[in-house]
Structure 1
Amino acid sequence: MHLPPINALRTFEAAARHGSFKKAAEGLHMTPSAVSHQIKALEELLGTALFRRATRKVHLTDTGRAYLPAVREALELLREATERITAKPDKAVLNISAAPSFAVGWLMPRLSAFQVAHPEIETRLSAQIEMVDFADSDIDLAIRHTAKVDTPGLVAHRLMEEELIPVASPELLARQPLRNQDDLAKVQLIHAVPRMGRWRSWLRAMGADKVDAESGPKFDHDAMAVQAALSGMGVAIVNRGLVEKQLADGTLVAPFPHDLHSDLAFWLVYPRQREADPSIQAFRAWLFEQVGQTAAGATDLQDA
């Protein structure tokens, strides 16, 4: 015996569910006569009546009631199998941890470009000062601000060395021109608390011994210090790489041409066993491109 047509089975299930050929027709976007025809053809194929017809309702026969659970199960199995075949694969998720200054000041303005280039990867960014324990978190890779990375089991790439430079808004410099380093005594120095020694180191290197290196407003991280400088509150000292965009568009100005290189850098790190992960490889390649270096030119440190 041939199996019944799938459309006939769908029509039978809808009519049984609604108890009405008319309502089944509405749900299936058919005419009531087409529903009646489908049911009649199914009954003829099976050689038995499935419904008892009334004026406005239809009722399942004993045979119809016995047949309905199997039809519903078959239709559900077909629906699930079709969804599995036609469903788009889930996106890969890449969990990134980054120092707040890097996350807010550098990565976030560029991250949309990575998403456009790699729509198959969903990025989740967490700004964290604390070092990540990869064994005890769902973080896939991290960008750390430190002098060196010597944690066993990690691959590390030096992305960006720290070049400290004072920056201020054009409005502040219009009110108070800074002709030399000693003029910094006439404005507020803006500090990021985790790096309180920056101003002292820069002023000492420039020979500006008349400026109080400790005075001025203090903030939790560089991103807040940059925002304070943008608002005209004072002069911040930050990593040049984190304010490239603001320097380019003129919203911040570097009043002095002198950078101070520190022993710190931003490092991309991830577990060595994850090195071949396609999402990590894609993000690493994109990151190298953004900072202007190649995988071959990046400084790689691996545990033995």
Structure 2
Amino acid sequence: MKRTHLPLNALRVFDAAARHLSFTRAADELAVTPAAVGQQIRALEDVLGVVLFRRTSRGLELTGEAEAGLDPLREGFLRFEEAVQAMQAGQSSHAFALAVPREFYAQWLAPRLASFRAANPQVRFQLVAEEDADFTEANLDAAVRLVEGPDDLEGVELSPARRVTVAAPGAPAGWITWPGCPEPEGEGEAADVLLQVGNAGQALSSALAGLGRTTLPLPLVEEALAAGRLEALGPPAESRRAYWLVAPRPQWRQAKVRALVVHLVTPAATI
């Protein structure tokens, strides 16, 4: 018999009925009706081609065929339980593999991971700089991405979708552009592109160095704005994209990922 065709539910019903020697008490244990137990036993007998129970004046009795298979069956169920516990132990382990953009990690995520680890000293992190890394190939638990939404993944928005145009004090009026930056606005010198870079992190470093103005997600510049290293050239504006923590559904269901999500989205627990 192929493993994929094992009638596991019927075998579980058989185990309960054999322990109680009663379809009624087995039904109570399994939260089903006695009729459902009887149906499962008859179906199992049909699959196996043997009779498992006899009705006598004293009640139900196991047949010799049933007794012959009962101990190996129970040992198998114990092994199933051990397998489930092993898998759950892996899910509840304290090692996280995360793919995070460097600039978002430095400006927003790092202090929050520090506070999470302060509350959970056993936690260990492995960080991948490429946020678009394949979950399977990189064996990731979750990733942070600057996107409009989670698409076909599970996800939670870590910060509001807002952007702001910034420059260092005294920086030239020209623009630093990057692939996620809106088209520069203005005329003449104000619309000049002084520097083209490959990502938000390079744009942030360039702005801090005084090379020009750029538009960045608000979480990347809040600290520099508060410290006076950058100036906002207008109020924050709504953006189509935000930083999302995303993962495929199996990873999202892990207890450790759920705990991290709660920590990151709870304001009182972030830093």
Give 1 or 2 for the bigger CA radius of gyration.
Answer: 1
- Of 257, 264, 273, the residue aligned with 2:250 is 273
Of 96, 104, 109, the match for 1:94: 96
Task: Structure 2 unaligned segments of length 5 or more: list them.
Answer: 1-92
Distance 1:289 1:214, change over 3 A: farther
The answer on whether the counterparts of 1:93 and 1:123 sit within 8 Å (CA) in structure 2 is yes
| Structure 2 equivalent of residue 195 of structure 1 | 180
1:250-276 deviations in whole A, cap 9, x for unaligned? 22111323x332211221112222334
In structure 1, give the amino acid aligned to 2:138.
S
Task: Report what 2:203 is aligned to.
Answer: 225
Counterpart mapping for 1:121-132 below 5 A: 121-129=123-131, 131-132=132-133
CA-to-aligned-CA distance 1:203-252 (integer Å, 9 cap, x gap): 2xxxx344564611122211221111112121121111211111122221
Shift of 1:292: 8.9
Is 1:155 matched up with 2:154? yes
**Residue 169 to residue 285, structure 1, CA distance change in 2 (3 Å):** same
Shift of 1:97: 0.6
Compared CA separation, residues 109 and 191, structure 1 to 2 (3 A): farther
Q: TM-score, length-normalised on structure 1?
A: 0.52
- 1:99 CA drift (Å): 2.9
CA RMSD of aligned residues (A): 2.7
Pick closer, same or farther for the CA change 1:158–1:229 going to 2, 3 Å: same
In the alignment, the residues of structure 2 paired with residue 244 and residue 168 of structure 1 have an alpha-carbon distance, to the nearest angstrom, of 13
Shift of 1:109: 4.4
Alignment-derived partner of residue 285 in structure 1? 262
Indicate the residue corresponding to 2:232 in structure 1. 254
Letter matched to residue 242 of structure 1: L
SS in 2 for 1:143: strand
Give the conservation status (yes or no) of the 8 Å contact 2:174–2:190: no
- Give unpaired runs (5+ residues) of structure 1: 1-90, 174-185, 294-304
Contact kept? 1:160, 1:291, Cα under 8 Å: no
Aligned-residue identity in percent: 27
Alpha-carbon distance in 1 for matches of 2:149, 2:264: 19
Q: CA deviation at 1:121?
A: 0.9
SS at match of 2:139: coil
Equivalence map 1:194-213=2 (5 Å): 194-196=179-181, 198-200=182-184, 203=185, 208-210=186-188, 213=191
| Cα pair distance change 1:210/1:125, threshold 3 Å | same
Aligned mates of 1:146, 1:291 — CA distance in 2: 25
Counterparts of 1:117 and 1:251, CA distance in 2: 32
1:235 is aligned, of 206, 213, 234, to: 213
Hey, what's the Cα distance between the residues in 1 that align with 2:269 and 2:189?
36
Q: Kindly provide the amino acid, as one letter, of the partner of residue 224 in structure 1.
A: Q
**Distance verdict in 2 for CA 1:290–1:99, change over 3 Å:** farther
Q: How many residues align?
A: 179
Could you tell me how far 1:127 is from its partner in structure 2? 1.7
Once the two structures are superposed, residues 55-91 of structure 1 have per-residue CA deviations (whole angstroms, 9 ceiling, x without a partner) of xxxxxxxxxxxxxxxxxxxxxxxxxxxxxxxxxxxx7
Q: 1:276 to 1:270 in 2, by over 3 A?
A: same
1:247/1:253 contact within 8 Å kept:
yes
Change (3 A) 1:291 1:225: farther
- Given the superposition, is the C-alpha separation of residues 98 and 291 from structure 1 closer, same or farther in structure 2, using an over 3 Å criterion? farther
Shift in CA distance, 292/145, structure 1 to aligned 2, threshold 3 Å: farther
In the other structure, the counterpart of 2:137 is: 136
Q: 1:165 is matched with which residue?
A: 164
In the alignment, the residues of structure 1 paired with residue 127 and residue 267 of structure 2 have an alpha-carbon distance, to the nearest angstrom, of 17
